[in-house]
Homo-oligomer: A and B are copies of this chain.
C-alpha cells in the first residue's frame, strides 16, 4: 500500500519525536531496545523516525500510563499484527499468557477506549 510507504518514511530526528510525543530520548531508546519500534538509521548511526513510529510511541505512552508494562504492550502489538490470535487459533502463545492479556484488557477496557482515540492524535501532522 503506497500510503503505508508514505507514513513509514523515516523523516524525523529524535529531538522532533521527543517534542511530538513528549517522551524523553531515554524512553524512546528504551522502547526500541524492547523492539516496540525499529527506527531507521542514517549512515552515521543516527535514528530517523517515521510518522508511523510516532503513532506507535503515542500508543506505548498511553498504555504505560494505564499501567500496562512492556511485556503487555508487546503482546498487544503482536495481536494487532496477527488477527489470528483473536480467534484463539494457531497462536504460539500459551493459554496462561493469553488469559493474562485478556484479563488485563478487560480491566483496562474503558481506558483502552481512550487509547484508541489517542492513537489518532497525530493525524493533524500529515495531510
Give me 4 other A-B pairs in contact (C-beta within 8 A), A2-B124, A6-B127, A11-B20 excluded: A3-B127, A11-B125, A126-B126, A126-B127
> Are A124 and B16 in contact, with the CB atoms below 8 A?
no
Chain A interface residues (CB < 8 Å from chain B): 2-3, 6, 9, 11-13, 15-16, 20, 42, 48, 124-127
Q: How far is the CA of A9 from the CA of B13 in the complex (A)?
A: 14
Can you list 20 A-B contacts (CB < 8 A)? A2-B124, A3-B127, A6-B124, A6-B125, A6-B126, A6-B127, A9-B125, A11-B11, A11-B12, A11-B16, A11-B20, A11-B125, A12-B12, A13-B13, A15-B42, A16-B48, A125-B126, A126-B126, A126-B127, A127-B127
